[in-house]
Amino acid sequence: MKSIPATLQTTYANLLQAHVNRPVFAFEGAPFTRKLGNKTYWYANHRTAPGAPLKQRYLGIDSEEMRTRIDKMQTQRQGQADFRSYTSGLVALLRAGGITGPDRKTGPMLRTLANSGAFRLGAVLVGTHAFRHYDLTLGTHLSETSGWATQTDDIDIAGFEKHAIAVPDSVDPDLAKQLEKLGFKPELTLNRKPSTSWILADASYAIDFLTPSVRDEEGPVEMPALKMWAQGLHFLDFLIADPIDAVTPYMEGLLVRIPLPERYAVHKLIISQRRKSGSAKAKKDLEQARAIIWAMAEDRPYEIHKAVADADAKGPAWRKALDKALDLEIFPDHPTPSGDSSEFLGRAKTIGAPVRLRIAGTALAVLFGGDQGTLAIANANRSVIEALFRRQFRRQPGPDILIGSYDVPDLS
């Protein structure tokens, strides 16, 4: 998997930092807090137009990071023209380095969503358009390894219903009106149910609004902060918990929110098992999941391990889906010594790709006795070793699975 050069990763980090520290809007007076229930929220006064009355705008939930951000907003305000010049230059450097941005159809859509305040108010970009941001987030060209898995038209926007209700603020300018200006209209639905999808007149492009469903039926749910209806879906709460900031390399950059990459990957594994086996969408889910897991396995394996454990804790339906998605198809050849003869090798396939299996001789000795593991021991206990490999991969998936003596207590 090809890494993005360090210079481009630094450029993106500077771009993201500039957007995160940018004032959300030119507020008047000092920001202030309000307590709702057991949480504290930051607000500021704002005029939507010269001479217009002041309107209270929501900034975010109180936290040390938010207080630091507000301090910077007050002490380091940067003119909008200077900001755009600086960030546009960084985006140009990324594009010159081979980083692609959204096409001319998708870019304006994301810009409309960002400018309306949708991401500030809790919306999260999900689906393939979120996946495209993980190249820069993880510093790896995922799109090159996943190929067609990045091809899509529709934009998927998700958010929590409870957050949309708790925050007494809403998108401005009105998101529905802005979408109508771009040629979108609500998709017609059966039984007069509220539409959760907006489509272009020629039906070539859609924006779908989604929310986690806590009900048995996955029906439409109102999202007051976005002034939209969203389709309730099971398993979505896991995906959009604790989202992160990202910047879309379009114009001066667009600050969006995307799921944690490890949660995106594990969610895709689960969703792939809900689709028809062998379908194009199921294959695409697995392609994207594998690209992220393989990228994180080398230097960020703990995050993947934790995401799998968090999904397992959700209940038997989650565990069953992951069991199927992470099952190893182990090839029937016998283990062979590696170059240094202290490890024994096997081969497997999973998530549509080959996996290298290794068990240390010291682990064989711990498991089956003797001063040192041998090839004979490995061959004689093949079924037990295969079970260990399945357990290890299930805990911490990756393209190269090594079982050392220190892993045995956790796997036994």
Average pLDDT for 124-140: 93
0.75 exceeded by pTM: yes
**Among the listed ranges 114-128, 159-173, 295-309, 370-384, which one has the minimum average pLDDT value?**
159-173
Complete domains list, the chain, with CATH: 100-259 (no CATH), 260-324 (no CATH), 329-411 (3.30.160.140)
CA distance 53 to 45: 10
Residue with the larger pLDDT of the pair 27 and 317: 317
> Over 90: is that where the pLDDT of 27 sits?
no
Predicted local confidence at residue 308, as pLDDT: 95
Supply the pLDDT for residue 302: 94
Average pLDDT over residues 357-368: 87
Position with higher pLDDT, 239 vs 83: 239
Q: How high is the pLDDT of residue 250?
A: 93
- What's the pLDDT at 184? 84
What residues are paired with 233 via a beta bridge?
212
Confidence at residue 6, expressed as pLDDT on a 0 to 100 scale: 94
**Mean pLDDT, the chain, integer:** 84
Cis peptide bond N-terminal to 212, omega within 30: no
Among 14, 359, 36, which residue's Cα sits nearest to residue 166? 36
Interval 62-78 mean pLDDT:
77
Asked whether 50 and 174 are in contact (CB, 8 A), the reply is no
Model confidence pLDDT, tens digit, residues 101-117: 888 888 888 988 888 88
Q: Are strands 155-158 and 124-126 parallel, antiparallel or unpaired?
A: antiparallel
Q: Are 22 and 78 in contact (CB under 8 A)?
A: yes
Quick one: 190 exposed, middle or buried, by C-beta within 10 A (0-12, 13-18, 19+)?
Answer: exposed
Q: Which of 169-183, 263-277, 384-398 has the lowest mean pLDDT?
A: 169-183
Residue with more model confidence, 215 or 3: 3
Identify the residue whose tokens are 């001479």.
51
Confidence of residue 77 (pLDDT cuts 50, 70, 90): low
In the predicted model, is pLDDT for residue 166 greater than 50?
no
Quick check: helix, strand or coil at residue 94? helix
